[in-house]
Amino acid sequence: MKDTIFALSTVPGLSAISVFRISGPESFSVLKKITTGEKPKSRYATLKKVFWEGEAVDQCIVITFEKNESFTGERTVEIHCHGSIAVIEKMASVLIKIGSSLNLRPAEEGEFTRQAFYNGKMDLIQVEGLADLLKSETEAQRKISLGSLEGVVSRKIEGWRSKIIAILAFLEAGIDFTDQDLGEVPVLNMIVDLTEILKKERESFQSIRSIKEGLDIAIIGPPNVGKSTLINRLSKREVSLTSRIAGTTRDIIESKVLINGVVVTLLDTAGLRETRDTIEKKGIAIIKKRLKTVAFKIFLINNEADLKNIGIKTCDEDIIFKAKADRGNNTRFIGISGKTGLGVKEAISLIEKKLPKIYFNSGSIATYRQQSKISDLLDVFLGLELDVKAGLDIELVAEKARDGLKLIEELTGRIDTEEVLGIIFKSFCIGK
Amino acid sequence: MKHLFDVIVIGGGHAGSEATYAVARAGGRVALVTKKRDQIGVMSCNPAIGGLGKGHLVREIDALGGLMGVAADISGIQFRLLNRSKGPAVQGPRTQSDRSLYKEAVQNILFFEKNVTIIESEVVDILIEKGAVKGVELEDGTKLGTSSIILTTGTFLNGIIRIGEEKIKAGREGDFASLKLAKKIRGIGLNIGRLKTGTPARLSSKTINWSIVEKQRPDDKSTLFSFLHKKPFQRQISCGITYTNSFTHEIIRKNIGKSAIFNGSITSNGPRYCPSIEDKVVRFSDKDEHQVFLEPEGLNDDTVYPNGISTSLPKDIQEMYIKSIKGLENVNIKSFGYAVEYDFVNPKDLKSSLEVKNTKGLFLAGQVNGTTGYEEAAAQGLVAGINAYRCAVQEEPFVLDRSEAYIGVMIDDLVTKGVIEPYRMFTSRAEFRLSLRCDNADIRLTEKGHKINIVSDDRMRLVREKTGSINMLTEKTKTMLIPIRKLEELGINQKKDGKKRSFHHILALKGISDETLKKLWKDFFNFDLDVREFVRADAKYNYYIQRQKSEVDRLQKNINTVIPKNMNFRKIEGLSSELKTKLCEANPQHIHEASKIDGMTPSGLMLIISKINSYKKTA
């Protein structure tokens, strides 16, 4: 017998309303034990008093969901009670007590979603989308994860899956029906068509990951050039301690800011210079290591000579500013002043341009797992493209295509040979 | 009732013959009840055995000591290995057979088998008591007692033949349908459905203008079915190939409303891979011609089977469109094509042993289970024969897995998925296609057959010798190393890494001719052809086969995985509904418990495991 589970689905603590959710085969029996009268009509909000041992606990709105009509796919009851600590605690203790006579227990973390998954209410992509949605902090993250939750991504993957099944069908037709007059079989074109689509998809992975997980930008420059001042300016708050003394910043200080819907982590670093101080040396080594994972760097310099003295090469994506420009600018770079705010606006718009374009395309493949599977898939079919061109035996090409299908099935659904045969019979005039 | 027979087989077609012979080989006393003794082993549709996927089945039947391969070899008049240009895993032997020689070969085997009794009669009732078989009743009222029955009635259960508007109650042209038995089967509580199949007109060879049609020649070197045979028994002949044309199509299109398939009289499903000519013309209207193979039915037979134009159009229309085809302008039609509708039992009602689930001792094999084709029927007959006898003597059933044989794939498909159209074997149905080959059917299966006493000691000895040679040759080819320089001289380009390549490695390469191999190591050709072919195929596929094995191993590793309490088996996509029901009833706690459920397949287990794992990964 499956367990029935319950949990407080809203944040514990003072609020207008708190919601308890009960899910599982016994949930209607639980409701019967604590309310009087008829079970409310499925999916209708109904005012009910909750009683326990003859005493009223609270006046609540109760909603019931029939099996297969709920989020979890199980019979579900939602009790919307008042959001006081006392009510929440009383309600929870009542439900725990019922657990001694009925098969009811507190839910484990994520267990409602697990029920939904095992009941086939959500596929894996949707579960991942939900997890992301609950974690989302930015508008961009919300849109991407909602697309995943709503099945936009699943449908897209389903589209690729049909393409793979068609490829497989054409290959299998070339094996099982060679005694027939099949005409031209454009398998190579079909493979190329798929790899082109997957390539485009893979190209977007990096920027989608940036949107989802944010990206790091390091601000580097010689000591006391005003890096911390600039960071405070960009963050609109005091993140880094500033002083006139060179070397005030020793550790890497992080500040998260939202630029154009992307979470950007600005890294304030210790000033870079030739030094004999062992601690400072270690600090600089740590910075250099960290710089390998940043999206790009902002160099803040006093003069062109600094670029050499810092000991770090600039890349094409990097931005270079002349610091303390309120005191003048004799370089070819844009001047900026953390102190007066001079040039900060221009700097931000420059940074914005460097950020990945946000795809408000809600079918984006966002999780690492999905992205790596799709990369594998692309590799399989790129390999297949070469194999077909090189004239590999058709049964081995088909074997590899079957692998491709398995990969996509690990993302969602499942294959049936009947489906492959179905396409063959639809596409070709088979039969002597 | 005294049991004179361990097993009674009803029907003498390909399933019935193979079943009867299997029981006899295993040592059982068996009666074959058939309406016409001289029709045993008759080829009622086209006179050919084998093909892609089907050839695999025949080789497997032969590896288990069955009769189909032997009879096909004895009667074969045009051997061709299909997919010769492709890899060994997807090649399939096929032959045209001399219809009368085939029948004769089958009858010779059965009539001279001491355990077999042929009874020329009709079974009108199957006697069942308390859910178990007790015997059969014949048309003259005789009752025969037995504990095991194999029903192989083909298209005879409620068979209805249709030609245009005409409607005849018959299982086959000139043979009456089995109506009483059909009623009885419906009474047992089995799920019965209707299927249809069709056959073309038969033509008189003398009246075909052979000089203007293309020729399809037999292979120069014949590939036979039985592992015991090397050379064909009969003279090899060519078939003809001609084509329909736009005029043919116009005649058919104009008269489409008269076809039994299109005028609404037939609603049941026919095989999609074997459509009638009217189906082809309607569904693929862009094609302006369709191939027609002109297959002689025998060396001394005037009948020709025009493969590719099966139909249920009225006779006058058939005559018109046939005469519109090149080479057939003046043809004399010996008999007309027809469609036949018949009862079949949904094979989901069967266990993997082919025993009916709700009736102990009742086995079903062949077209009655919704399959089509002689080879599919014979393969089921073999399994049903083995298991009916094992049931009679209370032994465990003999079941082949999907990873062991095409026979296993077919029966698993049938009993777990059921059928909606006549089921035919294809190589694409086999997940383990690269290891389930025609060339290794004996290595895969003969020992299994020997263990259950259906394969002779002689045959077993031959396979042991072959295995020994294979091992020796494999070892030699792996240890024989060839320098890159020598390979380059022969035009074989390899990465220049200074390493020598084994002969085994060279065997796996594509497009290496026998001449080249001779120059590398001529003693290779001292080994028998079948041994060489095995080693070559093995070299070619070894990498892929190992990978598939690792998949099977992965399953083993997961055997202790706990199945979550709240797992809803009904919602696992890809599981058959029967398996879902069984899983729900059994409610297994671990994968190894789930694996013991009857009918559970490796792929089914993988689905459950991946469902559990995929959630764990995200959680």
Nearest Cα residue in chain A from B419: A418
Of B307, B426, B574, the CB nearest to A414: B574
Is the minimum CB–CB distance between B524 and chain A shorter than 8 Å?
A: no
Is the minimum CB–CB distance between A369 and chain B shorter than 8 Å?
A: yes
The residue with greater pLDDT, B570 or A25, is A25
> Helix or strand or coil: residue B115?
coil
DSSP symbol at B269: B
Mean pLDDT of A300-321: 83
DSSP secondary structure, B344-391, as one string = EE-GGGB-TTSBBTTSBTEEE-SGGGTB-SHHHHHHHHHHHHHHHHHH
Residues in chain A within 8 Å Cβ distance of B46: 432
Of the pLDDT bands very low, low, confident and very high (cuts 50, 70, 90), residue A362 is: low
Residues in chain A within 8 Å Cβ distance of B573: 120, 413-414
Residues in chain B within 8 Å Cβ distance of A393: 86-87, 510, 540
A35-74 per-position pLDDT tens digit: 998 999 999 999 999 999 989 999 999 999 999 899 999 9
- CB spacing of A120 vs B574 below 8 angstroms: no
Q: From CA B555, how far away is CA B604, in angstroms rounded?
A: 11
What is the distance in angstroms between the CA of the first residue and the CA of the last residue of chain A? Answer: 54
Is the minimum CB–CB distance between B156 and chain A shorter than 8 Å?
A: no
Its CATH architecture, for the domain A4-118, is: 2-Layer Sandwich (3.30)
Is the minimum CB–CB distance between A179 and chain B shorter than 8 Å?
A: yes
pLDDT in the model for residue B487: 84
- CB spacing of A396 vs B426 below 8 angstroms: no
Nearest Cα residue in chain B from A129: B618
Residues in chain B within 8 Å Cβ distance of A172: 426-428
Q: Can you give the length of chain B in residues?
A: 619
Q: What is the ipTM of this complex?
A: 0.79
CATH of A218-354, one of 3.40.50.300, 3.30.930.10, 3.40.50.150, 3.20.20.80: 3.40.50.300
Q: Which run of H or E residues covers position A354?
A: helix A344-354
Query: What Å distances lie between residue B592 and A346, B103, B557, B562, CA to CA?
Result: 66, 47, 10, 9
- CB spacing of B573 vs A120 below 8 angstroms: yes
Ramachandran sector of residue B460 (left: φ over 0; alpha: ψ -120 to 50; beta: rest): alpha
Is the minimum CB–CB distance between B510 and chain A shorter than 8 Å?
A: yes
Residues in chain A within 8 Å Cβ distance of B551: none
Q: Tell me: pLDDT of A360 over 50.
A: no
Nearest Cα residue in chain A from B92: A176
The residue with greater pLDDT, B390 or A389, is B390
Residues in chain B within 8 Å Cβ distance of A119: 568, 571
Residue at token pair 């250099």? A288
pLDDT in the model for residue B424: 92
Of B280, B610, B618, the CB nearest to A429: B280
Q: Do domains A4-118 and A218-354 have the same CATH topology?
A: no
B574 CA to chain A: closest CA distance, Å?
6
The residue with greater pLDDT, A10 or A258, is A10
Q: To probe the interface with B, which of A395, A421, A425 has the most B CB atoms within 10 Å? A: A395
Q: From CA A277, how far away is CA A283, in angstroms rounded?
A: 10
Residues B313 and B148: beta-carbon distance below 8 Å: no
> Helix or strand or coil: residue B423?
strand
Q: Which fold has domain B202-340?
A: Elongation Factor Tu (Ef-tu); domain 3 (2.40.30)
Is the minimum CB–CB distance between A184 and chain B shorter than 8 Å?
A: no
Q: To probe the interface with A, which of B295, B568, B603, B613 has the most A CB atoms within 10 Å? A: B568
Structure tokens at A246: 């060179």
Q: Tell me: pLDDT of A432 over 70.
A: no
The residue with greater pLDDT, A123 or B431, is B431
Question: By percentage, how much of chain A surpasses pLDDT 90?
Answer: 23
Nearest Cα residue in chain B from A109: B619
Q: Can you give the length of chain A in residues?
A: 432
Residues in chain A within 8 Å Cβ distance of B566: 2-3, 114-115, 118
Mean pLDDT by 10 residues, chain B (619 residues): 89 97 97 94 92 96 98 97 91 96 97 95 93 94 95 88 82 70 85 91 96 95 94 96 94 90 77 84 87 94 94 92 96 93 92 94 96 96 98 94 92 88 91 92 96 96 95 94 86 80 88 87 90 92 82 69 79 73 80 74 74 65
Query: What Å distances lie between residue A289 and A269, A282, A312, CA to CA?
Result: 12, 11, 11
> Helix or strand or coil: residue B609?
helix
Mean pLDDT of A320-344: 83
Of the pLDDT bands very low, low, confident and very high (cuts 50, 70, 90), residue A429 is: low
B7-155+188-194+342-451 belongs to which homologous superfamily? FAD/NAD(P)-binding domain (3.50.50.60)
Residue at token pair 């006898």? B389
Is the minimum CB–CB distance between B434 and chain A shorter than 8 Å?
A: yes
pLDDT in the model for residue B458: 95
Query: What Å distances lie between residue A101 and A2, A23, B417, B566, CA to CA?
Result: 15, 16, 42, 20
Of the pLDDT bands very low, low, confident and very high (cuts 50, 70, 90), residue A416 is: very low
B385 CA to chain A: closest CA distance, Å?
28
Of A128, A395, A410, the CB nearest to B86: A395
Radius of gyration of chain B from its Cα atoms, rounded to whole angstroms: 26
Tell which B residues from 528 to 557 touch A, by Cβ distance under 8 Å.
Answer: 540, 544
Nearest Cα residue in chain A from B426: A176
pLDDT in the model for residue B172: 66
Three-state SS string over B435-447 comes to CCCCCCHHHHHHH
Provide the CATH number for the domain formed by B561-618 in this structure.
Answer: 1.10.150.570
pLDDT in the model for residue A413: 43
Mean pLDDT of chain A: 82
pLDDT in the model for residue A423: 59
DSSP secondary structure, B545-592, as one string = HHHHHHHHHHHHHGGGPBPPTT--GGG-TTS-HHHHHHHHHH--SBHH
Q: To probe the interface with B, which of A176, A184, A399, A424 has the most B CB atoms within 10 Å? A: A176
Nearest Cα residue in chain B from A417: B429
> Helix or strand or coil: residue A248?
coil
pLDDT in the model for residue B101: 97
Q: From CA B119, how far away is CA B105, in angstroms rounded?
A: 19
B352-379 per-position pLDDT tens digit: 999 999 999 999 999 999 999 999 999 9
Sketch the domain layout of chain B as residue ranges.
Answer: 7-155+188-194+342-451, 202-340, 471-545, 561-618
pLDDT in the model for residue A356: 67
pLDDT in the model for residue B149: 97
Tell which B residues from 567 to 586 touch A, by Cβ distance under 8 Å.
Answer: 567-568, 570-574
A172 CA to chain B: closest CA distance, Å?
6
pLDDT in the model for residue B50: 96
Q: Tell me: pLDDT of A414 over 50.
A: no
